[in-house]
Amino acid sequence: MNIFVCLKQVGSRDSVLRVAAGEKWIEDEDLTFEMNEPDAFALEEGLRLKEKHGGEVVAVSAGPTRAGSTIREALAKGADRGIHIADDRFAQADALCTARALAAAISKESHDLVLTGLQSDDAGFGQTGVILADLLNLPHATLVMEVTAEDGRLNVKRELEAGWFQNVSMSLPALLTIQSGINKVRYATLMGIKRAKNKPMTNYTADELGIEFTAGQSIRRLYVPQKTKETQFLSGSGKEVAAQLIEKLKFEARVI
């Protein structure tokens, strides 16, 4: 089974974020970067499927030069090879442009399964996977919580709203967007890190793949929400006040 896992490099969750001067994105000069957490679960699922059914796992990323370190991390965890579409413009590219780049690279090779994380930790649009499925003309399922492969087909469990789930059977090749928490992500071992240095990495430029950075959407303004304080007085009997307080804690503060 040839499994392609799409990865994105994002700012570390522990980083202090500051809005850039143009209010279009964040300052990234002093940031540390890491693998997008939902993509890490997709990678782990790909590695587990490979261990059960054989084949190879290919880590693919469209990003700046620094994104190569995220691909190397995937190789250290067990991916067989990497593909890097390198261009600094991908740092702020929209989902359509990123999906076009990933599709151009993946379509060059035989692929049975393409995995992405549910969404990115930075923009969080959750659209790259479904757009990529359309560009590759693949059946797809989102919010996947469980995957089993059998006789050239996939059986997947999808998470819906309000505690509901959906079981779907689909043919290969296919694309899945993986829900965070589907599995326990492994760490790269010292031996894995050493082996990663000798694993093959294919590098493309956006020009080589004919990628046009024409944005389908753009960020008009990025800003930090203003924090305000407000005092509310609840009236009525003790029982009525308690009921009002519980309602506000549940539906407004969302702490219970």
How far apart CA 80 and CA 242 sit, in angstroms, is 59
Say yes or no to pLDDT of 67 above 80: yes
Tell me the CA distances in angstroms from 201 to 38, 71, 79, 86, 112, one per residue in order: 22, 9, 11, 12, 20
Q: Residue 15: how many CB atoms within 10 A of its CB?
A: 15
Both 231 and 154 in one domain: the answer is: no
In a domain, 210, yes or no: no
Q: Do residues 84 and 71 lie in contact, with contact meaning Cβ atoms separated by under 8 Å?
A: yes
Q: Based on the fold, state whether residues 172 and 247 are members of the same structural domain.
A: no
Same domain, 200 and 241: no
- Give the residue-averaged pLDDT of 230-235: 85
Cα gap 128→120, rounded to integer Å: 9
Q: Are residues 27 and 90 in the same domain?
A: yes
Residues 59 and 151 in one domain: yes
The domain total for the chain is 2
Task: Say which residues have a Cβ less than 8 Å from residue 211's Cβ, sequence separation at least 6.
Answer: 85, 87, 97, 100, 101, 104
Same domain (yes/no): 142, 15: yes
> By three-state DSSP, how is residue 137 classified?
coil
What confidence tens digit (pLDDT) does each residue in 149-171 have?
988 899 999 999 888 999 999 99
CA–CA separation, 217 and 232 (whole Å): 40
Q: Where are the alpha helices (DSSP H) in the chain?
A: 37-53, 68-77, 95-106, 128-135, 190-196, 238-251
State whether 255 and 171 are in the same domain.
no
Quick check: is 212 in a domain?
no
Residue 23 lies in a domain: yes
Tokens of residue 201, six digits: 């990495």
Looking at the structure, tell me whether residues 79 and 126 fall in a common domain.
yes
pLDDT tens readout for residues 79-130:
999 999 999 888 888 899 999 999 999 999 999 999 999 999 888 889 999 9
pLDDT higher than threshold 90 for residue 135: yes
Q: Does residue 188 share a domain with residue 75?
A: yes
Q: Are residues 191 and 235 in the same domain?
A: no
Residues 242, 164 within the same domain: no
215 in any annotated domain? no
d(CA 6, CA 115): 6
Q: How many residues does the chain have?
A: 256
Question: Reduced to 3 states, what is the DSSP secondary structure of residue 68?
Answer: helix
Residue 60: pLDDT band (50, 70, 90) is: very high
Q: What is the CATH number of the domain that holds 149?
A: 3.40.50.620
191: its two tokens: 């031996």
Beta pairing class for 9-11 and 33-35: antiparallel
Q: How confident is the model at residue 249 (pLDDT cuts 50, 70, 90)?
A: confident
If you write DSSP's letter for every residue of 174-206 in order, what string do you get?
Answer: EEEEEPTTSSPPPPPPHHHHHHHTTS-EEEEET
In a domain, 143, yes or no: yes
235-244 contacts, C-beta under 8 A, 24 or more apart:
none
Instruction: Please give the residue range of the domain that contains residue 199.
Output: 2-205
Same domain (yes/no): 201, 238? no
Q: Which residues pair with 4 in a beta bridge?
A: 58, 114
Q: Is 222 a member of any domain?
A: no
Determine the Cα–Cα distance for residues 230 and 253; give it in Å rounded to an integer. Answer: 13
Residue 140 phi/psi, 5° resolution? Answer: -145, 160
Three-state SS letters, 49-65:
HHHHHCCEEEEEEEECH
Is 29 a member of any domain? yes
Does residue 250 form part of some domain?
Answer: yes
